[in-house]
Amino acid sequence: MAIVDILANVSELDPIRLACGSICLGLLAVLVYSSLNTSPFPVVNQKQGFEIKSSSAKRRFLSNAYNLIKSGLAKSNVFWIISDNGPKLALSPKYANEIRSHAALSFGGSIAREFHSNIRGFEPFKQGTTGDEIFQDAVRMRLTQSLGHVTQPLSEETQVALKAAWTDSEDWHDIALRSNILGLVAQLSSKVFLGDKICQNPDWLKITVDYTVDSFIAAQELRLWPWFLRPIMANFLPSCQKIRKELQQAKGIIDPVLEERRVTRQRAIDQGKTPERYVDALQWMEESAKGRPYDAAVAQISFSLAAIHTTSDMLSQVLLDLCDMPDVVSALRGEVITVIQEEGWKKTTLYKLKLMDSVLKESQRLKPIGIGTMRRLAAQNIGLSDGTVIPKGASVFVSCERMWDPKIYPAPEKFDAYRFLKLRETAGHETSAQSVSPSPEHMGFGLGKHACPGRFFAINEVKIALCHILLKYDFKLAEGYTPKPRKNGLSLNSDPFARISPFLYYPGLSIYNLYFHPLSKYPGPRLAAATPWWICLSYFQGNTPRKLLELHNRYGPIVRTSPDELSFIKPLQWKEIYGHKSSGEQQLTKDKKYHTGLGTVQNILNADRHYHAYIRKLMANGFSEKALREQEPILQKNIDLLVQRMHEVGQNGTAPVDVISWYNFVTFDFIGYLTFGESFDCLANSRIHQWIKVFFSLVRLMAFGQAIARLPYLLQLPATLWLIPKSVKSDAATHNQLNTVGSLSIPSTS
């Protein structure tokens, strides 16, 4: 670690000291490579023929590390491999338990050497690797303990994120899987780490995803330079400049939130109140730090980095695996439905998804995030039980070869979805066969003291996302595409260019709506919660208001009337929904399904806020006080005629009069003047005009349109053809014709 600390401060040295230091470190690098010649351990990719530099050996490592390690293990349990970051000592998995928690093997030292955590821009890689372990405590203690509280919020955020990214399209459509899943996991992780205020902030989500990708690129580019030049070159490489800028942007988002909390906390203390305690990573880090200094923005990027990289890779890979296994997808759906129906939606539900757990562990076995794990830096010479000595300063890793060993896993090249489910049912393996349980035979999450502390959260997050995807979507590989994992040294990532095609899966949608949908917590008929059929039927029957009143009398002021609709009845709720917002809050927009008849163009009834304002402005002159006064004679004439005609029909009070009909007559006569410049002459003829007759018929058509708009896309055309009465369709055609003739001089009808 002393050498690493020196390297971190190289850029601050004066030229003479810098030159001396560079020479010394250059000599040290030469000594390290020359020591390989005297080491008792073989080198699997040593320089060949006339190769002077190790560049070719490094290229062989980056492109073919798996086969190099396999050939090395066939000859020796310990061997050197020249990596892009210098020589590494590869160990057989037989040593995994022996070194898993060895005090002289530094995890932090390995990360510092591999990801330059002491160089500016790479600070997030330092979290959890230093002695104080603030970050590790926050993950192990606070995050793991909070899993029960975040299950429902994660589920709700998954619904929001998937609807935006995968859409509710009822047609097959291609998506770029890797970038899509990166965004999904970033949003879900931010929901837990930072809460509602930031988790949907597009700037924050972009920063977290970009830094996750860009930091690995920058780290690899920096490894191309000698150790002693890296702190200097980091100032000039565009990739390193980019991640420093991203950290500054992160700071610009996180710091104002912290300042707001500080002010709010102090205000509460001054008022003698208990300050609010937040359930997020900002609060966890503050509590874990116990007064020790730390950078909050760097810590949040560290949380995102740890969560996004491995979790998105796991979810991407398991989806690619499942694309070729429809029988497994069907079995997983069955398990989710059964468990959800028995347990409801809670933390323990995830534990009981045992087939899903087995699928995740098997997917990770076949394609872990890397082919070497337990990366450590030897702080001193370390003697192992068989006499092997790990030299001081050696970068060490353990091969994951046992994950593909036929002696441990029969037919290891085959994806067996039930492999770990069967093993879990075997005595003595009830716990070790679970996806969160690392072992020397399965080191997908590492092993020992530094096994991934966030694996419990990661597995829960993946399971929640999979539950939503399985019940809401069907999916397949994009036409003609065959995914291939990307091999890069010890890293083994899911295909970054993979594309899949999802579409809405209706058979599972009812269960999804009942248990996973954000509105699932609201009361109402189960048919209304599961499908749109309840509300559609009420529209077709024409008794929606009466049925809604019955539901409110039964269930209360808030009722779920369809999978994505609520009905409110209290005056205060109406004000909050339809009233003007204060404090800069955005007004709720109109639901596009409302006031939308079949084939209706955008109008003032269904317009959004901006278009509504535009129409209102166009019509403003017609409703000004001046215009209304100019129209007063016309209105007065109609009222006088109304009184006259009612006297005539009522025979001066001796015969009954249908007041509603006469009200409609005077109203529509006036509307005729305003709209068409001439009267419908309803008052004069004592009967309704044909235009008005078909207009009332259109109210029925609008109700049918409301119902059909809620049906699945594939059912909308058949419903339009078969469920709307011919008379209503005929009236709609007549109405359109009357609107285009330019005159109301058409015989009225009784």
Task: Return binding residues for heme.
Answer: 452
Q: Please report which helix (H) or strand (E) contains residue 357, including its range.
A: helix 354-366
Number of neighbouring beta carbons within 10 Å of residue 505: 18
Q: Which residues have C-beta within 8 Å of that of residue 526, sequence separation ≥ 6?
A: 514
Burial class (CB in 10 A: 0-12, 13-18, 19+), 636: exposed
Backbone angles phi, psi at 619, to 5 degrees: -95, -5
* DSSP, residue by residue, 271-292: TTPPPP---SHHHHHHHHHTT-
Q: Which two tokens stand for residue 579?
A: 């009233």
Cα distance between residue 340 and residue 331, in whole Å: 14
d(CA 363, CA 434): 13
Please report the sign of the dihedral spanned by the C-alpha atoms of residue 667, residue 669, residue 671, residue 673. Answer: negative
What is residue 539's three-state secondary structure? helix
The residue behind tokens 């098997």 is 362
- C-alpha–C-alpha distance, residues 177 and 473, integer Å: 14
Question: At 578, which helix (H) or strand (E)?
Answer: helix 571-578
- In b/e form, how buried is each residue of 402-420, taking b as 16+ CB within 10 angstroms? bbbeeeebeebeebbbbbb
The alpha carbon of 443 is separated from its chain's Cα centroid by a whole number of angstroms, namely 27
Nearest to residue 59, comparing CAs of 84, 88, 32? 84
DSSP per residue over 636-681, as a string? HHHHHHHHHHHHHHTTTTTS---HHHHHHHHHHHHHHHHHHSS---
Residue 113 CA to residue 328 CA, distance in Å, equals 42
CA 571/CA 442 separation, integer angstroms:
59
Determine the length of the chain: 750
Instruction: Provide the total of helices (H) and of strands (E) in the chain, helices listed first.
Output: 32, 14
Query: Using CA atoms in the order 126, 88, 222, 401, what is the torsion angle rounded to 10 degrees?
Result: -80
**Spatial CB neighbours of 75, under 8 Å, sequence gap ≥ 6:** 42
Phi then psi for residue 747, to 5 deg, are -55, 130
Q: Bridge partners of 48?
A: none
- With a CB cutoff of 8 Å and minimum separation 6, the contacts of 158 are 184, 188, 464, 465, 468
Rounded Cα distance between 490 and 398, Å, is 11
Contacts 24+ apart (CB under 8 A), 329-337: 329/470, 331/355, 331/417, 332/356, 332/359, 332/466, 332/470, 333/470, 333/471, 333/508, 336/467, 336/470, 336/471, 336/511, 337/471, 337/508, 337/511
